[in-house]
Every structure is written in C-alpha cells, then in structure tokens.
Chains A and B, each alone.
Chain A
Amino acid sequence: MNVAIIILTLSIGAYFIAIIEGWAMHGRISISRPALSALALFGRESLLARTPDRLFFESGPILLLVVGILSMAVIPLAPGLIITDLATGALFLNAALAYVLVALIMAGWGPNGGYAMIGGWRFLGQFIAYAMLIVMPITAVAMRAESLSTTIIVTSQSELWNIFYQPIGFVLFVLAAMALAWLPPLDLPNAPSDLAGGFEAEYTGARLAVLRLARMVIILAMAGAIVTFYLGGWLGPWLPAWLWSVIKMLVVTTLMLTTGRLVPRVRESDLLAAGWKLGIPLALANIFLVGVIALVVDI
C-alpha cells in the first residue's frame, strides 16, 4: 500500500517537474507538453551509434531509473508513509546516489562517441567532489538526530528546522544536490552547447524517454532529501502531514529548476576547485559547529 502511494506521488511529481522545466526553458507553462513530448519520443525512430557497447548503452538509463526509485524508497512523506524505514536510511540514500555515477559512466562509454565519453568522465569528476558535500551535511544532520533513520531525522526537527540550525550545511547540500542531478548551472555532462548534448545526445526514441524520466525521479528524490533533512519533512501546523511534504518538495524543486537557469554554466575547473577547496572545509567546519552547539545548547 505504501509502495503504491509513493509510486503515485513519484509519477505526479515527475510530471510536475517536467512542467516546471518546460516553463523554465520555454517561458510558458503548458500542462500537456510533457505528455505530448513523451508520446512523440516513443513514436520517433531510435537511432543507434555505429559500434556501441550494447550492454552499457542499454543498461545506463535503466540503472538510472532504478537508482531514482531506490533513493525515493527512504524518503518519508508522512509518519509511516515510507517504502522501507531502514535504520541506516540516510546512508542508504547516499549509496543509491552513488549509482548515478555508474549509470552515467555506462551511458557515456556505451555509445562509443567522443562527446558522450567526455560527458561521462566530466560527471565522474563532478560527482566525487559533490558526493562528499552530500555525505558531510548528512553527518551533521544525523549528529543532531542521533540516528541515521530518516523518520527520526524528521521528528528531531520538531522544535527547530535544520535549515536554521545548520545553514551552511543546507547551502552545501542544495548545491551538491544540483550537481548530482546535473541541473543547470552545473549541467556539465550534457552541456547542450559545448558538448553538443553530451551523453544525452546519443539517446533517441524510447531510451531517451526512460533517461529523462529517470532524471525527473532523481530530481524529485533530491528534493525529497532536502525536505527531509533540512526543511522538517512533514512537520507543519494545520494541513495533513503528506500534503506538507508534497508542498515543500514541489517548492524546493521549482526553486532548483528555475533559479539555476539564471546563471551561466560553471566552468569545470572552477566547479571542482570550489568543491574541493571551499566546499569540503566548509562542510567540516559545519560538522564541528554542529557538534559544539549540540553539546552546549539544549535543542
């Protein structure tokens, strides 16, 4: 039952994200555009590269979709409305997101094309730096909650949301979430202009539909993670719990999708330098600060 509700929420949420992304790209909100373009994609011809590595070419998008669904499995939408309440839920989220890297390496290497391969390896550099910036803020959040379970992390924020308690961690986590889901301005792997579409250009037809759907699910899972760890999950005054979760997730997604496009794409060397030289010391300082505050103040 839980699984059915969450899959339904995933589908509606993914459709909503597609609408918002269409609005950010084209400037007009059109409710039917995602459905029509998905139908068009299924009808189009599916072009294959000349000598692809078929195993990787086919399994890249599928692995990405599996990762999206797995990472949504530990996000609680309401007390008890969670697919699997693992005792190490926060760490499991990071483990599932590590396979985004594997899927993109497969998708980059599979088509046997130069630009796709460069996109895949660019994502490797981006991911390793920014996965650290996902784990370290999660460490600080788990320190406050004294548990890795996502449900307990949400209930630990009942007095003060983590965005006010740990603002540095929040900023780093949002940036890292945008880097992991390759959202603009950090969309280096599929840079539409300088890499001629990167690895996404090699996929056409039904495989492209699966790839785009998988990306929507991952963006939704990242928004769910931001809401769970920093914005208090389902906590809120008078609406039912699941409605608060959904509203918060949609607000976060809209902000991530629309404000990102206002900034030009970051250069890869600047991105990695910012991640390693600025981000990781800040994340370590965040852990230290949170530890001191948790021991001294009684929140």
Chain B
Amino acid sequence: MTGSYAELFFLIFFGVAAIWFGIVVFRTHSMVRSALALLFSQTAIGAMFLVMQAEFLGVLQIMMMATEMSVMALFMVMFMMDPGGMGAMDMSHQKRLSLRAGGIGLIAALAVSWLPDWGPVANSIPDASRQVELLGIELLGRSMFVFESAGLTILTSMIAATMVAIAPRKIGEDT
C-alpha cells in the first residue's frame, strides 16, 4: 500500500462522516436540521480536501459552504411548511424509482473506482505555499479565459437572481 496509514484513516473517517450527514439530510423531519446536516457534510468534504493536501481548496470549501448552507437554512424556513419538523410529514414521491436510480449510480461508480488500474501514484506534491503560488499563476496565466468567463457568469447570475427576486412594484403604490 502506498502512502501512510494516517492519510487513509482520515480519508475514510471524513468520508463516512460526509456520507452519514448526507443521509441525515433526507431522513430528518426538521428542516433546519436538514440544512445544517448538509453544512456539516460539506465541512467533512472540505476536511477531506485538507487530508488530500489541497489546502487552499479545503479552506475555500469550508468557508464557502458555511455561508451557502446557512442561506439555504433561511430559505428552508421561508418556504417549507413545517420547518421545525414537529409534524413528521413524509414529503417524498417515487421512492422506489429514486432508490433504484441511486443504487445503480452507486454500483456503476464503485465499479469504475475499483476495477481499472489507475497507474503509478504520484508522490511529489508541491507544498502548500508553492501550491497557492502555482494556482495563482495558473489562474491568471493559462486559464485566464476560463477565469474571466466564470467571473462574467457570476455577475450575470447575480443580476439575474436579483431581478427575479425583486417584487414587482405596482404603479401608484407607496414603498
């Protein structure tokens, strides 16, 4: 086995935590607990990135997902009928179809993970500060076009989401 046992152990630990929190998202009745379980699932994924020595990505994932999932919790409270989960209502449909689809997806992805031979493992990873430097050079050098179009996409979606969400003001109405 290549690499150290510690890395494998922490990968499995954080991975199982992420999957467990993901299952809690759809099993719990309380909506806010569901959103915060998704938050902790994403935090476990960010911790997995840190274990795989992608430090910048791990910290970025942890930071972004905290804010995004908290906003999702707010939207749960706004739109769902029973945010506290006290009514124990079942809000799902086509259960068997989705279980079968999930099962098929799982088996296919597991087959792709374990069957092929992925080649030799690469052992020389640039250390974290060098990675940040290289990522910056990549962002503004070779991938400049991708980066700029991503920025433009974000701007467009910000304007679009704001425009869709603003309530139309009727003529003659006070603010």
Contact = CB atoms under 8 A, between A and B. Distances in A.
Contact of A88 (B36, B39, B59, B84): B59
Contact of B66 (A102, A109, A112): A102
Interface string B64-89: 00110011011001000000100000
A112 B32 CA distance: 12
A124 B39 CA distance: 15
Interface stretch (B97-105, B125-133, B145-153): B125-133
Nearest to A106: B36
Q: Interface of chain B, helix or strand or loop or mixed?
A: helix
A95 B59 contact: yes
A42 interface: no
Interface in A57-87: 86-87
B62 interface: yes
Interface in A14-38: none
A112 B33 contact: no
A95 B71 contact: no
A94 to B, nearest CB: 6
B66 A101 contact: yes
B77 to A, nearest CB: 8
A79 B131 CA distance: 23
A124 B84 contact: no
B59 A91 contact: yes
Interface of B: 30, 32-33, 36, 39, 55-56, 59-60, 62-63, 66-67, 70-71, 73-74, 77, 84, 127-129, 131-132
18 contacts: A53-B32, A56-B36, A86-B55, A87-B128, A88-B128, A91-B59, A94-B63, A98-B62, A98-B63, A98-B66, A101-B66, A105-B32, A105-B36, A112-B84, A121-B77, A128-B71, A147-B129, A147-B132
A165 interface: no
B132 A102 contact: no
B66 A124 contact: no
B162 to A, nearest CB: 11
Contacts of B33: 53, 55-56
Interface residues on A, range: 20 to 34
Contacts of A53: 30, 32-33, 84
B132 A88 contact: yes
B55 A99 contact: no
A149 B133 CA distance: 12
Contacts of A149: 129
B47 to A, nearest CB: 11
Nearest to A101: B70
B56 A102 contact: no
A99 B30 contact: no
Nearest to A110: B32
A86 B60 CA distance: 14
Contact of B55 (A87, A101, A102): A87
B173 to A, nearest CB: 19
Contacts of A131: 67
Contacts of A88: 55-56, 59, 128, 132
A242 interface: no
A147 B132 CA distance: 8
Interface in A81-133: 86-88, 91-92, 94-95, 98-99, 101-102, 105-106, 109, 112, 121, 124, 127-128, 131
Contacts of A121: 74, 77
